Amino acid sequence: MKKNASLVQSRQRSVRIAATVFLAPVILIMAIFIIYPIVSTFSISLFDWNGISKNREFIGMENWKMLIHDKVFWFAFKNNLTLMVCSIGIQIPVAIALATFLDAAGRKVNLFKVAWFLPLLMSSVAIGFLFSYALATTGGIITTFSQALGGGKVDLLGRAPQALYAVISVVAWQYIPFYMVYFLAGYGNIDINIYEASIIDGATRGQYFFHIGLPLLSPMIKSACILSLIGSLKYFDLIYAMTGGGPGTATELMATYMYKLSFTHFKMGYGSTAAAGMFILVTGFALMMQTLLKGNGSSNNE
């Protein structure tokens, strides 16, 4: 007995040591590049600091009070929510449709697979440039069509409500390929026998999709929703390249606002508060979405 116990003990110890050794680098990297920045963002948010000066003044929760009353921040948050709803509502259904088409049509349509994948390979800044020309009021594609049909010039990026939606559609153009590939991989994981069995049982393509394909894909759809949610709440680059948050603050997002506060307004303390606020909001939303989806998921399975 005694010998056995010590054997168990020593095995446990050696597992523990091995685990520590193998995990140490990861933990170290996470601590330096993830945990430390988050902690320091929160601590900087308690200071009045321009980002470069040696003196920073501790002001407690002043920045946080200011953030809660900051109309621009909450307006930016609202824009983020719009972006989030539109992203999930547009990108995921379209991506499923494209993936289903590619999966059903098989090798014949490999050309489409390549073509539809391309937007994902371009850098956001290049896409931003491309579309600011395409959507330009003078000489842009939409304006040219409109003028050919006898309409006037169309100003998509320079006016308040439509600028946001114009940018949202470009974001969708950029990210649909990502989810398409994701769902395509999901289809790849579905056993071919299931498909064959359903066809033998007389299911139509539509029935197969709605009663077999979609339910089997649902875990992936859920994680895609969460990815898209987090992505849209912290979105930055394309907006920054295309409109810089303008006109006025019409397309300002939390991330672009945070960036401007920190680096162009010389308010690193307040910018960090915005970053920390954003962190809290994004985490909160992600957790909420996860529990919501989990609830649904378990009821479906049982």
Give me the residues that bind another protein (CB under 8 A), please. 50-54, 110-111, 114-115, 118, 121-123, 125-126, 129-130, 132-133, 135-138, 152-160, 163, 243-244, 246-250, 260-261, 263-268
**Minimum distance, C-beta of residue 99 to another protein, in the bound complex (Å):** 18
Nearer to another protein, 208 or 246 (CB): 246
C-alpha 263/C-alpha 20 separation (Å) is 40
Separation CA 70–CA 244 (nearest Å):
19
CB contact at 8 A, 96 and 221? yes
Q: How far is the CB of 246 from another protein (least distance, A)?
A: 6
Q: Which residues contact 233 (CB under 8 A, 6 or more apart)?
A: 80, 84, 254, 278, 281, 282, 285
Cβ 215 to another protein shortest distance, Å: 32
Alpha-carbon span 38 to 278, nearest angstrom? 11
Helix axis angle, 110-121 to 92-105, nearest 10°: 150
Nearer residue to another protein within complex by CB, 23 or 122? 122
CB-nearer residue toward another protein: 240 or 285: 240
Distance, CA of 91 to CA of 270 (rounded, Å): 33
Identify which of residues 227 and 241 has a Cβ nearer to another protein in the complex: 241
Q: What is the nearest approach in angstroms of another protein to the Cβ of residue 157?
A: 4
How far apart are CB 232 and another protein at their closest, in Å? 23
Distance between CA atoms of 169 and 176, rounded to whole angstroms? 10
Q: What angle do CA 246, 228, 244 make, to 5 degrees?
A: 15
Contacts of 115 (CB under 8 A, 6+ apart): none
Residue 206 CB, nearest approach to another protein (Å): 29
Angle at 283 between CA 58 and CA 42, to 5 degrees: 10
Asked if 199 and 212 count as a contact pair (C-beta separation under 8 A), the reply is: no
Q: What 3-state DSSP class applies to 154? A: coil
- When the beta carbons of 96 and 250 are compared against another protein, the nearer one is 250
Nearer to another protein, 119 or 230 (CB): 119
Instruction: Tell me whether residue 136 or residue 233 sits nearer to another protein (CB atom).
Output: 136
Which is nearer to another protein, 36 or 210 (by Cβ)? 36
Work out how close the CB of 97 gets to another protein at its nearest, in angstroms, rounded to a whole number: 22
Q: How far is CA 76 from the centre of its chain?
A: 16
In whole angstroms, how close is the CB of 239 to another protein at the nearest point?
Answer: 13
Residue 72: count of CB within 10 angstroms of its CB: 16
Phi, psi of 33 (to 5 degrees): -100, -15
